Structure 1
Amino acid sequence: MSVERVPVLIVGAGYAGLSAATLLAWRGVPCRLVERRASTSRLPKAHGINRRSMEVLRVVPGLEDALFAASRAGANESTLIIAESVTSPPIETLVTKISLDATPVSPSRICTAGQDRVEPVLLRFARENGADVRFSTTLERFSQRDDGVDAILRDEASGQETTVLADYMIAADGAGGTIRDVGGVKMEGPGVLADTISVLFEADLDSILPGGGFALYYLRNPAFSGAFVTCDEPNHGQINIEYDSTRDQASDFDEERCEALVRQSLGVADLAVKILDIRPWQMAALLADRMSFGRVFLAGDCAHITPPVGGLGGQTAIQDAADLAWKLALVVKGQAAPTLLDSYEIERRPVARIAIARSIANYVERLLPDRQDIRIREDEYGLLETAMGYRYRSDAIIADEFDDGACVEDPLRPSGAPGTRLAHVWLRRGEETISSHDLIGRDFMLFTGPDGGDWIEAARRIALRSKAPLGVCRLGFDVDDPEGLFLPRLRISPEGALLVRPDGYIAWRSRGRSPDPFATLEASFARVRGFDTGQSSGSHAAAFADASGSGHHHHHH
C-alpha cells in the first residue's frame, strides 16, 4: 500500500471543502480533496453567495467574474416575497437591506447562482491553482499522531487503498458527516424543526413570473407552508414543502402528488409540469460543541446545521473555509505558530451560533408566525449585522479600549476596533478606483495615516526579518482617500496605524504614534500570529504591554 504525504487533506467537496481547496491552493499550500460522490452537486441545493462570502472568494483572480458568469440572474437582482402562491397577491415583499444596493458596506455584489453552478466553478479554480481533487474516493478510516493525521483513502472504482499522511485534516463531510463522531464531537441545539420534501421541476415559468432575475417566494398556503425558488436553468424551479411526518411518509410523495404541489405552489391549476427530482430532508438547527480535535478541523454543515431560510448555511461554510485557509497556510509555511489554529473555533463558532438564530428567526417571520417559541432571542441580530458585522475575539486579535463585548456591529457604522471587519471605503490608486478591501486578501496589511511614516519603516524591517507576509499602505502616498472617509471610519489619527489580517479583520490598532513603533509593531505582529512575545527582551515586553492595553488577558489552552 502506497504512502503519500500532503500538508492538508480535505474530506468533502461541498462549499466548505471546495472553498478550502481553492483558497489553500491559491496560497501555495498543496492539498488533496477527496469526495465520495462521483461529481459535484447536480442539484441547486443552496442559492446565492452573499457579500461577505464574495469578499473572501474574490481575492482569487478571476473567481468573482466566473461566479457571476455561472449565474443566470445579474448581481443583486433578487426578489423575495411572502405569498399564498407565486401568482397570488404578495402578503409581504421582503426588500431587506441586503436586497438593496449595499455599496456603502462592501465592494462585493450578491451572486444568485445555485450550488449546482457554483461548485463546478470552485472545482475549476481549485484545480487550476494546484489542488489535487479526487471524486469517488472515500475516507475509510483515520487516526491521529502528535505530528499528523494518518488517513486511509479508498478509490471506489478500483478498490485501491492509499495511506495519506497529512499535517492537518479539514472535515467538510456535511450534515451527515461521520468524521466528527470519531472525535466525540456532539451536536447541540433545537434539532429537527421540520420534515421537508424538495422537488426540482421543469415548467413554463416565463409565462408566470414577471421579469428576470432570481425569485424566492415563501409560501403560506392553506394546504402547506414552503418555498419556491427559480434556478439558473431557464424554466427550472424548485419547491420545498413541509409535511407532517405523523400523517405522511416521504415515500407518499410520488410524481403525481409532487406535480399537484407544484401547481398549488405556483397557483396555476392546469400547468404542465415535468418532475426532475424528489428529495426528502429534515430542516434542523444544530451546533457542534467543538469545531476541532487535535489536527482535525470541522467546517461547514458538519460543524453547524442552519435552517435554509436566508441562505446563511452556505455562507458560513465558505467563510469557515476561508478562515482555515489563511491560518493553515501561515502555519504550514512556518510563518505562524500552530497555536494560531486555536483561534479557528474560538472565532468561528459564535458566528455559526448567530447565523443559526437568525435563520430560525427568518423561518418564523417568513413562514410560521405562530411559532415564536422556537426563536433563540439572545443570539438574534439584524440580517446585515449577522451576515457582515460579526466580531471576533481571540488571541489572534489584540483588543483595545473600545470593546463593549457586543457580538456584532452595524457595518454601516464601523468602529475600526480590533476584531471587527475592515470598513469598505472607495480609494484612488493612480487612475483607478479601488476598495480598501482590494488591498487585502493574501497578506497582512498595515494601513497608516499620511503621517505614519515611522510605522511604515518599522513594518518594512519586520517583513524582512519575520519572513511573514506583511504589506503596507500609507494614505496619501500609496492610495488617496478623496472623500476623507478612511481615517474617521478606522478611528485613527494621521499618525495612527491599523494591522489587518488576510481575512479583512482588524488585528491591532494604534490610534496615534508610538514611542517605539518597531518594538510595538513587532510584538503585536508576532502575537497575532500565535508567537509568544514573552520570550523577547524586556524593552519589547514593555512596549508590548503598552500597546495592548491592560484590558486583555492572554489565555493558554
Structure 2
Amino acid sequence: MTIHHVPVLIVGSGYAGLTAALMLSLRGVPCLLVERRATLCDHPRAHGLNLRSMELLRQVPGLEADLHRASRAAPGDNTVTIAKTVCGPVMKTMDSPGGFDTRRLSPTLMCSAGQDRVEPILLRHARMLGADIRFATELAAVSQDARGVRAALRDVASGEETTVASDYLVAGDGAGSAIRKSLGLDMAGIDGISHAVSILFEADLSIAMGGRGFLLCYLRHRDFTGAFVSCDDPDRGQLNIEYDPTREADSDFDVARCEKLVRAALGQPDLDVRILDVLPWRMSALLAERMSLGRVFLAGDAAHIMPPVGGLAGQTAIQDAVDIAWKLAMMIKGEADPALLDTYDAERRPVAQLSIARATENYVERLRQDRSDLSDAFGRVSNLDVAMSYRYRSPAISLEEPDDGSPTDDTMHPSGKPGTRLAHVLLMRDGAEISTHDLVGSNFVLLAGPLGSNWIEGARAITRRLPVPVMAYQIGVDLIDSSRLLLARTGIQPDGALLVRPDGFIAWRSLSCAADPTEALERAINSAACLAPMTHLRDPSVQRGEGFWVGTQIPERLHGE
C-alpha cells in the first residue's frame, strides 16, 4: 500500500480550513486540505471581516488589498440599521459611513465582502503559497495514535481511495462535524434557538440601497423577524427570515412565497424579484466540550456554533485557524514543545464561549427583545471588546498578578498585559511608517523601551542557544515612536520590554529592567514556547495508542504496512 505523508491534514474548505491552509503555507509547512464538495459554496452566508481578522490576514502579502477589491463597498462605507422594512423609517442606526474612526485602533480597515467573495481569494493565496487543496475528496475513515494520524481519502467521482499519514489533523468540517462526533465530544448550550431560511435573490435594489456601499438591516416586520444584507453584486440581496418549525417546514418556502417575503421585507410591493437560492438553517448557541483531542484540533463551526448576529461567527473561525496554524508550525519546525499545542483549547475555547454569549445577546437586542431568557451578563461584554480585545490565559502566557479575570481588554485603552492583543501604534522604521502589527507574524518579537538595551543584548545571547526565533527591536534605535504612545499603550517603563507572539498577542511583559535581563527573557521565551518544564495536558488515552474512527469504512490496518 502506498501511503502519502503530509505534516498537516485539513478537512473542510470554509473559513477555518482555508485560513489554516493559508497560514500554514505562509510559514512553509506543507499541508493537504480536502473538501467533499466539488467547488466552494457560492451562497454569501457570512458578510464582512472585522478589524482583528483583517490584522491577521494582512500578514499574507497582497491579501489585504485583494480582499478590499472584492467588496463593492469601500472600507468604512457600512450602514447597519433596525427597521420594520428596509425602505421604511429607521428605528435605530447602529453604524453609518464615517460613524466610527478606527484608525487609532488598527492598521487595517474592515472589509464588507461576503463569504462567497472571500473564500476564493483565500483559496487562491493558499495555493500560491503551496497548499495542496483537493475538492470532490471526502474523508472516508481516519484514526490517530501517539505517532500520528492516518486517513483514508476517497475521490467522490471515481470512488478511488488513498491513504494519507499526517502528524496532525485540523477539523474544519462544519456544524455537523463527523470528526467531532467520532471523537465523542459533546456540544453544550442551546440547540435550536430558532429556525430560518436564507433567500438569495436578484432585484433592482437602487431604492433600497440609496447609494450606500454596504447595508445590513435587522427587520422587525409585523409578520416576521429577520435581516436583509446587501451583496457584492449590485442587484443581489440576501434575506434571512425566521420561522416556527412547529407550524412550518422548509418546503413551505417555495419561490412564490420567497418573492412575497422579499417584497415585504424591502417595503416595495411591486418589485420584480428573481429567487436564486433558498438555504434552510438552524440558529444555535453551542460549544464543544473540548476543541482538541490528541493530534486533532476542531476549528470554526466544528467547535462552536453561534447566532450570526454581529459578525462574530466567521471571525472566530478565522482566528481559531490562525492560532492553531502558528503553533503547529513552531512544533513541526522544532521551535516549541508539544505542550504548546495544548494551549489551543485553553486559549480558544473561552474566546469561543465569550463570542457565543455576545452573539446571542446581539440576537436578543437587535431582533428578539422578547427572548430575554437567552440573555446573561457574560453576553453583555462590549461587542467591540469581544471582537477586538479578547484575552488569552494559558501556560504559554506569563500572567501578571493580580489577574482581574476579565475576559477582554479595553479596546479604546489597551493595558499591554500579557494575554492581550498588542496595541496598534504607528512607528518609523528605516524612514517608513509602519504599525506595531507590521512587526509580528513570522516570529516572536521583543519590543524594548528606549532605555532597554540590556534586553536587546540578552535576546542576542539567548537566540544563539534556543530554537525559538526572536526578532528584537529597541524604541529610539530600531524604531522611532514619534507619537510617544507605545509606552503608554503597553504599560512598560523606558527600561521595560514585552514579548509578542506571531499572532500579535503579548506573551510576557517586564514593566522595567530586571536584575538579570538575559535570565528573565530566557524564562519568558521558554514559557511562551512551552519549553520550560510543565505538566502536559495531552489526552492519556491517545498516548496509550487508542484512536478514533469516522465514517463507515474502516481499513483493517492503518499502521505497520
What TM-score comes out, normalization by structure 2 length? 0.94
- CA displacement 1:111-153 (0-9 Å, x = unmatched): 0000100000000010000100000000001011211001110
How far apart in 2 are the matches of 1:463 and 1:99? 46
Pairwise CA distance, 1:377: 2.2
- 1:537 corresponds to which residue? none
Pairwise CA distance, 1:297: 0.2
Q: Contact between 1:51 and 1:109, CA under 8 Å: does it hold in 2?
A: yes
- 1:205 corresponds to which residue? 205
Confirm or deny that 1:513 pairs with 2:475.
no
Kindly report which structure 2 residues correspond to 1:408-557, keeping only aligned pairs within 5 A, or say none: 408-533=408-533
- 2:559 corresponds to which residue? none
Pairwise CA distance, 1:401: 2.7
Confirm or deny that 1:219 pairs with 2:222.
no
How far apart in 1 are the matches of 2:125 and 2:472? 28
How far apart in 1 are the matches of 2:284 and 2:378? 19
- 2:307 corresponds to which residue? 307
Q: Which amino acid aligns with 2:411?
A: P
Secondary structure, in 3 states, of the residue corresponding to 1:48? strand
How far apart in 2 are the matches of 1:96 and 1:170? 38
- Mean CA deviation greater in 380-389 or 290-299: 380-389
- CA displacement 1:508-545 (0-9 Å, x = unmatched): 111111221112111210121111258xxxxxxxxxxx
How far apart in 1 are the matches of 2:367 and 2:96? 16
- Mean CA deviation greater in 430-439 or 75-84: 430-439
Kindly report which structure 2 residues correspond to 1:61-460, keeping only aligned pairs within 5 A, or say none: 61-95=61-95, 100-460=100-460
Secondary structure, in 3 states, of the residue corresponding to 2:205? coil
Q: Which amino acid aligns with 2:521?
A: L
How far apart in 1 are the matches of 2:262 and 2:96? 27
- Mean CA deviation greater in 449-458 or 337-346: 449-458
Secondary structure, in 3 states, of the residue corresponding to 1:465? coil
- CA displacement 1:49-93 (0-9 Å, x = unmatched): 000001111111111011111111111211001000011100111
Q: Which amino acid aligns with 2:71?
A: S
Secondary structure, in 3 states, of the residue corresponding to 1:126? helix
Secondary structure, in 3 states, of the residue corresponding to 2:85? coil
How far apart in 1 are the matches of 2:99 and 2:367? 19
Q: Contact between 1:447 and 1:499, CA under 8 Å: does it hold in 2?
A: yes
Corresponding residue pairs, total: 538
- CA displacement 1:224-254 (0-9 Å, x = unmatched): 0000000011110010000111111110110
Secondary structure, in 3 states, of the residue corresponding to 1:80? strand
- 1:20 corresponds to which residue? 20
Pairwise CA distance, 1:376: 2.8
- CA displacement 1:22-48 (0-9 Å, x = unmatched): 000000000000000111121101000
Q: Which amino acid aligns with 2:407?
A: C
How far apart in 2 are the matches of 1:279 and 1:494? 56
Q: Cα–Cα, structure 1 residues 97 and 494, in superposed 2: closer, same or farther, change >3 Å? A: farther
Confirm or deny that 1:50 pairs with 2:50.
yes
How far apart in 1 are the matches of 2:509 and 2:461? 19
Q: Contact between 1:98 and 1:383, CA under 8 Å: does it hold in 2?
A: no
How far apart in 2 are the matches of 1:319 and 1:147? 27
- 1:544 corresponds to which residue? none
Q: Contact between 1:30 and 1:131, CA under 8 Å: does it hold in 2?
A: yes
Pairwise CA distance, 1:430: 3.0
How far apart in 2 are the matches of 1:108 and 1:408? 21
- 2:542 corresponds to which residue? none
How far apart in 1 are the matches of 2:147 and 2:536? 24
How far apart in 1 are the matches of 2:335 and 2:189? 37
How far apart in 2 are the matches of 1:371 and 1:337? 46
- CA displacement 1:439-479 (0-9 Å, x = unmatched): 11111000001111111111122222223221011101111
How far apart in 2 are the matches of 1:105 and 1:421? 11
Q: Which amino acid aligns with 2:414?
A: P
Q: Contact between 1:201 and 1:276, CA under 8 Å: does it hold in 2?
A: yes
Q: Cα–Cα, structure 1 residues 30 and 219, in superposed 2: closer, same or farther, change >3 Å? A: same
- 2:10 corresponds to which residue? 10
Pairwise CA distance, 1:272: 0.3
Pairwise CA distance, 1:374: 1.0
Higher relative contact order (CA 8 A, sep 6+): 2
Confirm or deny that 1:60 pairs with 2:60.
yes
Pairwise CA distance, 1:432: 1.9
Q: Cα–Cα, structure 1 residues 98 and 14, in superposed 2: closer, same or farther, change >3 Å? A: farther
Q: Cα–Cα, structure 1 residues 427 and 529, in superposed 2: closer, same or farther, change >3 Å? A: same
Secondary structure, in 3 states, of the residue corresponding to 1:317? helix
Q: Contact between 1:57 and 1:64, CA under 8 Å: does it hold in 2?
A: yes
Pairwise CA distance, 1:160: 1.2
Q: Contact between 1:78 and 1:99, CA under 8 Å: does it hold in 2?
A: no
Secondary structure, in 3 states, of the residue corresponding to 1:91? strand
**CA RMSD, 1 decimal:** 1.4
**Structure 2 unpaired stretches of 5+:** 539-561
Q: Contact between 2:175 and 2:305, CA under 8 Å: does it hold in 1?
A: yes
- 2:550 corresponds to which residue? none
Pairwise CA distance, 1:431: 2.6
How far apart in 2 are the matches of 1:458 and 1:419? 23
Q: Cα–Cα, structure 1 residues 96 and 293, in superposed 2: closer, same or farther, change >3 Å? A: farther
Q: Cα–Cα, structure 1 residues 362 and 465, in superposed 2: closer, same or farther, change >3 Å? A: same
Q: Which amino acid aligns with 1:374?
A: L
- 1:545 corresponds to which residue? none
How far apart in 2 are the matches of 1:324 and 1:13? 16
How far apart in 2 are the matches of 1:300 and 1:412? 27
**Structure 1 unpaired stretches of 5+:** 535-553
How far apart in 2 are the matches of 1:66 and 1:234? 19
Pairwise CA distance, 1:96: 8.3
How far apart in 1 are the matches of 2:299 and 2:98? 25
How far apart in 2 are the matches of 1:477 and 1:96? 41
Q: Which amino acid aligns with 1:281?
A: W
Secondary structure, in 3 states, of the residue corresponding to 1:466? coil
Pairwise CA distance, 1:99: 6.1
